[in-house]
């Protein structure tokens, strides 16, 4: 914990006067993957998995209703934006899209056949995505609209973000208005830092070394 506090202190000179009084830490991982053209091999793997899942869907049945994903808070938006989607690496060539999600989408969008549902997703595959990450993981974030994502994509919160959002002592949500300094890190190195604001993340210039203080 002391190392994290020191990390925030290293960024303190970058903050304006009133912000220094309101300094809070939010440490998340950093996506450091490179953008690359989505390969035919990865595209084919996604399409093969999709067709396999679609085989198991009964389009005459109505899938369980789901709730519209809630808007994320400013802090969550800015943390994930500064991190740039480290956790999306786990989406690989499946994007967590299984038969349960696909049946839900078919019901919500009144889709009645395999080809229509498959085409909906295939048309959204990006030209470029992060190397080795989810096939939908692009420089601008997820290429899928929120209602087409798997539930886990709309609900997952990593440990660093959860620790900030939840009061560890009592499990109470913390106020969102504090506007933390977000540090996206790899090992002991700060890769990116930003101040969360109502208008989005305001990038902070890193200290010269970019390393956490001992
Ligand atoms: S949930 Fe955590 S790991 Fe995932 S994108 Fe957001 S900050 Fe990054
Ligand atoms: S579908 Fe979108 S949110 Fe889910 S893992 Fe892939 S890029 Fe991330």
DSSP string covering 24-82: -EEEEE---PPEEEPPHHHHHHHHHHHHHHHTT--TTSPPPP-PPPPPPPHHHHHHHHH
Element (DSSP H or E) covering residue 208: none
What pLDDT is recorded for position 72? 75
**211 lies in a domain?**
no
**Structural domain that includes position 51:** 2-203
Q: Rounded to the nearest whole angstrom, what is the distance from the C-alpha of residue 109 to the centroid of ligand 1?
A: 28
Q: Rounded to the nearest whole angstrom, what is the distance from the C-alpha of residue 181 to the centroid of ligand 1?
A: 15
User: From edge to edge, which strands make up the β-sheet containing 189-197?
Assistant: 25-29, 181-186, 189-197, 200-203
Nearest listed ligand to the Cα of residue 133? 2
**26 lies in a domain?**
yes
**145 lies in a domain?**
yes
pTM of the shown model:
0.86
Q: What is the mean pLDDT of residues 26-44?
A: 97
Q: What is the mean pLDDT of residues 86-93?
A: 98
**15 lies in a domain?**
yes
Lowest mean pLDDT among 4-18, 55-69, 132-146, 174-188: 4-18
- Pairing label, strands 200-203, 128-130: unpaired
Q: Rounded to the nearest whole angstrom, what is the distance from the C-alpha of residue 136 to the centroid of ligand 2?
A: 6
Better-scored residue on pLDDT, 134 or 166: 134
Q: Rounded to the nearest whole angstrom, what is the distance from the C-alpha of residue 86 to the centroid of ligand 1?
A: 6
pLDDT, tens digit (0-9, with 9 covering 90-100), for 156-176? 999 999 998 885 445 555 554
Q: Rounded to the nearest whole angstrom, what is the distance from the C-alpha of residue 130 to the centroid of ligand 1?
A: 15
Domain count, the chain: 1
**214 lies in a domain?**
no
**213 lies in a domain?**
no
Confidence check: pLDDT of 1 > 60? no
**68 lies in a domain?**
yes
**pLDDT level of residue 214 (50, 70, 90 thresholds):** very low
Probe residue for ligand 1, chosen from 31, 74, 81, 87 as the CB with the greatest number of ligand atoms within 8 Å: 87
**pLDDT level of residue 197 (50, 70, 90 thresholds):** confident
Q: What is the mean pLDDT of residues 32-53?
A: 98
Q: Rounded to the nearest whole angstrom, what is the distance from the C-alpha of residue 58 to the centroid of ligand 1?
A: 34
Atom index in ligand 1 nearest the CA of residue 28 equals: 7
**pLDDT level of residue 16 (50, 70, 90 thresholds):** low
For ligand 2, is residue 149 a contact (CB within 6 Å)? Answer: yes
For ligand 1, is residue 28 a contact (CB within 6 Å)? Answer: yes
For ligand 2, is residue 88 a contact (CB within 6 Å)? Answer: yes
Atom index in ligand 1 nearest the CA of residue 84 equals: 5
**177 lies in a domain?**
yes
């Amino acid at each position: 914990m002391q190392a994290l506090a020191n990390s925030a202190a290293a960024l303190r000179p970058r903050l304006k006067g009133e912000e220094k009084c309101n300094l809070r830490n939010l440490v998340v991982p950093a996506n450091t993957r490179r953008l690359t053209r989505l390969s035919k091999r990865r595209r084919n793997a996604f399409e093969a998995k999709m067709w396999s899942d679609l085989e198991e869907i009964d389009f005459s049945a109505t899938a369980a209703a789901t709730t519209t994903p809630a808007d994320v808070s400013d802090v969550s938006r800015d943390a994930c934006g500064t991190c740039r989607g480290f956790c999306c690496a786990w989406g690989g060539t499946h994007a967590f899209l299984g038969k349960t999600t696909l049946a839900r989408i078919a019901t919500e969008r009144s889709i009645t056949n395999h080809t229509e549902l498959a085409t909906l997703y295939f048309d959204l595959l990006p030209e470029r995505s992060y190397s080795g990450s989810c096939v939908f993981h692009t420089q601008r974030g997820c290429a899928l609209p929120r209602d087409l994502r798997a539930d886990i994509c709309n609900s997952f919160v990593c440990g660093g973000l959860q620790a900030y959002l939840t009061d560890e002592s009592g499990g109470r949500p913390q106020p969102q208005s504090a506007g933390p300094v977000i540090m996206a890190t790899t090992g002991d190195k700060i890769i990116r830092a930003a101040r969360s604001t109502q208008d989005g993340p305001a990038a902070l210039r890193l200290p010269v070394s970019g390393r956490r203080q001992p």
